[in-house]
Amino acid sequence: MRIVLISLTFNAFWFAAVLGQNSMLPFLVLALIGAVLLDRGVLFAVPLFTLIGIAGDTVLIHLQILKFETSFMPLWLGFLWAGFGTYIWLVRDWLITKPFWLLVATGAVGGAGSYLGGARLGAVEFSMSPTSTALVLAAAWFIYSTVFLVILKRLSRKGEACIKPHLSMTEKSLAEKD
């Protein structure tokens, strides 16, 4: 149920960012603050995901694959990346149990689809045909998905490494009491 609620919340966040753009920035900020209250780990992981997404989209903007009203990345899109980073962080335990190939394929199709949907809603324009754009975006999202999953797995392992020594010490202490 938690995964469903977080996914629905992210979809609302996506629609607010894409439809409302900069006028929805207060809502986007409040939603991200709410995520921090839900899981403080967001503070450490999400900036990395956000920077990767912004860097990748900046390249796509520079190559004129993505076109916005301004010549640079709109602020709402940066917040959308923060929201996506928050989403995958909050569902990381569920994500890392799924087959890697399935997640990367789903990420490539879903990520490209989100930009195509954003174009239909007037948030972005493309300089190439829809088919060519979809292929480029799917390739970009294949890379994003791969990188994000590797990071999630490494951060999850680091979290386990921090917990295991503590558990070992606790187990040792309990054994000494016997």
Q: pLDDT tens-digit profile of 125-142? A: 999 999 999 999 999 999
Total number of domains constituting the chain:
1
Q: Is the pLDDT of residue 165 over 60?
A: no
Q: What confidence tens digit (pLDDT) does each residue in 35-60 have?
A: 999 888 888 889 999 999 999 999 99
**Cα 174 to Cα 128: distance, rounded to the nearest angstrom:** 65
Percent of the chain with pLDDT over 90: 76
169 is in which domain, residue-wise?
Answer: 2-177
Phi, psi of 125 (to 5 degrees): -125, 160
Q: What confidence tens digit (pLDDT) does each residue in 101-128 have?
A: 999 999 999 999 999 999 999 999 999 9
Is the CB of residue 133 less than 8 Å from the CB of residue 126? yes
**What contacts 8, CB < 8 A, 6 or more positions away?**
none
Q: Is the pLDDT of residue 64 over 50?
A: yes
pLDDT band at 70 (very low <50, low <70, confident <90, very high): confident
